[in-house]
Amino acid sequence: YPLIQGYDSVALESDVELGGTDQLFNLLMGRDLQRSWNQEPQVVITMPLLEGLDGVNKMSKSLGNYIGITESADDIYGKVMSISDTLMFRYYELLSDLPEADIGTLAAEMHDGKIHPKEVKKKLARELTARFYGADHAVRAEETFEQVFRHHGLPENIPELVLEKASGEVWLPKLLVEAGLTGSTSEARRLIKQQAVSLDNEKVLDTEYNVQPAGDVLIKVGKRRFAKVCFR
């Protein structure tokens, strides 16, 4: 694998290659191969890896510990709020546009009890959400977060999926995909196994569960994602 990746540098005659610290060996292999082909070795620049939401492994879609830049403003805000207080400053360091001195001040004030960790985290969540959706959407995402988690309510604008009763029962993993709550049926099955899916506040544990076409059904995935299925 390092040889194949390194040969990319030869084929492109690259001058500079940027990668994560975990790719350092592969990047250096590119330099060695370039020398063998009488090319000037590329300059290698490595960047630190961003830990995922679990604070242990690097952020990865396959591990499910990621914040997707195409996710909704509510999801981005909510996921940032779910990270630990310790990990929060790692995110500040690698993702925030705040000056390093300001980040240090926030850390010191939090350590001294002058500011609550939640307020520091909300500041980060607003900044990262606003980067992709703008300040107005970030404020609304914060309001939704407070409504759902602090006041134990429901979001004001829950997306609805209307289905025909005549179509019959619907396999739950397929329904989660159609409702936009998961990206695939395999992801849906995994979340069901993790007890992260509820229908009308009742957890569903059976990955083969079929939803009956009767009335409206409130689906909740995790702590932040909701959808209402309306059978007509």
Confidence of residue 34 (pLDDT cuts 50, 70, 90): very high
Backbone angles phi, psi at 230, to 5 degrees: -115, 115
Task: Give tens-digit pLDDT for 104-142.
Answer: 999 999 999 999 999 999 999 999 999 999 999 999 999
Residue 59 is given by DSSP the state P
Q: Are 170 and 211 in contact (CB under 8 A)?
A: yes
Q: At what angle do helices 117-133 and 85-95 cross, to 10 degrees?
A: 40
Q: What is the pLDDT of residue 150?
A: 66
H-run or E-run covering 73: helix 73-81
- φ/ψ of residue 211, rounded to 5: -85, 125
Nearest-5° Cα angle at 187, 182 to 189: 110
pLDDT one-digit tens code per residue, 127-180 = 999 999 999 999 999 998 888 776 566 777 788 888 888 778 899 999 999 998
> What tokens appear for 44 in the block?
């290698």
Q: Select the CATH number that applies to the domain covering 160-231 from these four: 3.10.290.10, 3.30.560.10, 3.40.720.10, 3.40.30.10.
A: 3.10.290.10
Q: Residue length, the chain?
A: 232
Closest to 117 in 3D by CA, of 82, 147, 142, 145? 82
Lowest mean pLDDT among 17-26, 55-64, 135-144: 55-64
**What was the pLDDT predicted at 200?**
86
- DSSP at 171: E
Is 90 exceeded by the pLDDT of residue 63?
A: no
17: β partners: 44
User: Which H or E element spans position 218?
Assistant: strand 216-221
Q: SS3 for 69? A: coil
Task: Give the whole-angstrom CA distance, residue 16 versus residue 156.
Answer: 49
**pLDDT score, position 102:** 96
Q: For the chain, what are the domain ranges? A: 2-47, 73-150, 160-231
Report pTM: 0.67
Q: What is the mean pLDDT of residues 14-19?
A: 97
